[in-house]
Homo-oligomer: A and B are copies of this chain.
């Protein structure tokens, strides 16, 4: 089996590595929302029914640190901040797209009702 070391952490499968970067509850949904245009912190916040400031901030920060997103700060008052997808981030979009499709398929197979 392969074995990768990054930031003093050991990964044993490529899937494990991917999920460490874009896994979790919000990261892929965030990239998906930003695939076509940049958005502000508040826009992103409002696009989820629930999400704490803390998790939105933390998820965005990690995506920026890992260069999936870029952050642009406008020195206005009050300050305006925009997040944009990067070239690296764009390469994740086809994967997220097929995961989404598969998600809807699973939800269907499992007979789950989607609420309006």
Q: Residues of A with Cβ closer than 8 Å to B?
A: 1-6, 12-19, 21, 23, 25, 28-29, 32, 47-50, 88, 91-92, 94-96, 98-107, 109-110, 112-115
Min C-beta distance of A10 to chain B, whole Å: 9
Min C-beta distance of A65 to chain B, whole Å: 12
Pairwise interchain contact B95-A49, C-beta atoms closer than 8 A? no
Given contacts A23-B23, A100-B15, contact A112 B6 (CB under 8 A): yes
How many identical subunits does the complex contain?
A: 2
Pairwise interchain contact B18-A103, C-beta atoms closer than 8 A? yes
Please pick, from B5, B12, B94, B102, the residue contacting A18 in the complex, using a CB distance under 8 A.
B102
| Nearest-neighbor residue (CB-CB) of A47 within chain B | B1
Q: In the complex, which residues of chain B have a beta carbon less than 8 angstroms from the beta carbon of A25?
A: 16, 19
Q: In the docked arrangement, what's the CA distance between A100 and B13, Å? A: 8
